Structure 1
Amino acid sequence: MKIALLVVLGLVLGALGGASLGVGAGLAWVEIFKTSNFEGYGGMLVFFTFMPLGALLGGLAGAVTFGVLAWRDAEIAIERPPKAPRKH
C-alpha cells in the first residue's frame, strides 16, 4: 500500500513539476523561434502542447522514480531486530 501511495504522490508532484517545466520550455520555444502571436497562437502552443507534454513526462518520471525508491525501501530492512546482549 505504501508503494502505491508513493507512486501516486510521485505522479502528482511529477505532473506539477513537468507542467511548469513544459511552460518554461514552451515560452523559450516561442521566443527563440519567433512563433507568431496572431490571435494568441503562441499562448495556445505553450498551454495546449508544451504544458500537457511536460505534465505527462513529468508525471511518468515522478511515478517511476518514487515507485523505485519505495520498492527498494521495502526490500531494505529499516528497523533491524535488536541484537542479543553479549556475554562477557
Structure 2
Amino acid sequence: MKIALLALLGLAFGAVGGAALGISAGLAWIQIFKTSNFEGDSSMLVFFTFMPLGAVIGGIGGALLFAVLAIRDAEIAIEHEPVRRRDR
C-alpha cells in the first residue's frame, strides 16, 4: 500500500513539475526558433503541446522514481536490535 501511495504522490508531483518544465521549454522554443505569434500561435504551441508533454513525462518519471524508492526502502529495511546495556 505504501508503494502505491508513494507512486501516486510521485505522479502528482511529477506532473506539476513536468508541466512547469514543459512551459519553460516551450517559451525557450519560441524564443530560439522565432515562432509566429499571429492569433496566439506561440501560446497555443506552449500550452497545448509542451505543457501536456512535460506533464505526462514528468508524471511517469515521478511515479517511477517514487515507486523505486519505496521498493528499495522496503527491501533495505532492517530491524535494529536494541542496544544492550553493559553491567558494571
User: Secondary structure, in 3 states, of the residue corresponding to 2:72?
Assistant: helix
2:56 corresponding residue in structure 1: 56
| CA RMSD in angstroms, aligned pairs only | 1.7
Runs of 4+ in 1 over 4 A off after TM superposition: 83-88
Q: By how many angstroms is 1:82 displaced?
A: 2.7
User: Secondary structure, in 3 states, of the residue corresponding to 1:32?
Assistant: helix
2:17 corresponding residue in structure 1: 17
Query: Number of residue pairs matched?
Result: 88
Q: By how many angstroms is 1:80 displaced?
A: 1.9
Give the TM-score normalised by the residue count of structure 2: 0.91
**Which residue type is aligned with residue 65 of structure 1?**
L
Identity %: 68
Gaps of 5+ in 2: none
For residues 28-82 of structure 1, the C-alpha deviation after alignment (integer angstroms, 9 at most, x for no partner) is 0011100000000000000000000000000011000000000000111254243
User: Secondary structure, in 3 states, of the residue corresponding to 2:66?
Assistant: helix
Instruction: Give the whole-Å Cα distance in 1 for the aligned partners of 2:34 and 2:52.
Output: 21
Q: By how many angstroms is 1:87 displaced?
A: 7.9
**Which residue type is aligned with residue 50 of structure 1?**
F
1:36 corresponding residue in structure 2: 36
Instruction: Give the whole-Å Cα distance in 1 for the aligned partners of 2:66 and 2:8.
Output: 9
- The reply to whether residue 65 of structure 1 matches residue 65 of structure 2 is yes
